[in-house]
């Protein structure tokens, strides 16, 4: 049974990493094309990407805030770009898949331990 738990968790980790990559891509677009919005958001760093101008602590706090906020709110700079809007929609879908998947995994794990 422990092998089954690990085998089912591996694809979920892949989904989570893809969500991180999509978030980083959105941040990079914001940094390169909408610098004033990036600065207004606190100069956030991504999970795998960061600009040199990022402050050490502030970049992580800004990332955490944006990673949650962008799931429910679409910034105006994203609304103006169909490519960025599609990327944000994909990011939201992947995060939804992760949340549903990890919830199912946790319930299955708890049931198998019992």
For the entire predicted model, the pTM comes to: 0.90
Q: Could you give the CA distance from residue 32 to residue 29 in angstroms, rounded to a whole number?
A: 5
Q: How confident is the model at residue 1 (pLDDT cuts 50, 70, 90)?
A: low
Map out the domains of the chain as residue ranges.
2-113
What is the separation of C-alpha 93 from the centre of its chain, rounded to a whole number of angstroms? 10
Chain segment 84-94, per-residue pLDDT in tens: 999 999 999 99
Chain segment 35-62, per-residue pLDDT in tens: 999 999 999 999 998 888 877 777 888 9
Residue holding tokens 């994909």?
90
Question: Which residues, 6 or more positions from 1, have their beta carbon under 8 angstroms from its beta carbon?
Answer: 112
């Amino acid at each position: 049974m422990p092998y089954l738990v690990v085998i089912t968790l591996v694809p979920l980790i892949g989904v989570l990493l893809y969500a991180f990559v999509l978030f980083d891509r959105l941040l990079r677009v914001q940094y390169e094309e909408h610098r004033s919005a990036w600065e207004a958001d606190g100069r956030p760093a991504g999970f795998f990407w960061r600009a040199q101008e990022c402050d050490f602590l502030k970049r992580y706090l800004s990332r955490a805030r944006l990673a949650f906020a962008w799931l429910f709110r679409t910034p105006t700079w994203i609304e103006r770009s169909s490519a960025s809007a599609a990327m944000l929609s994909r990011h939201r879908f992947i995060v939804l898949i992760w949340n549903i998947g990890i919830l199912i995994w946790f319930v299955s794990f708890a049931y198998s331990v019992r």
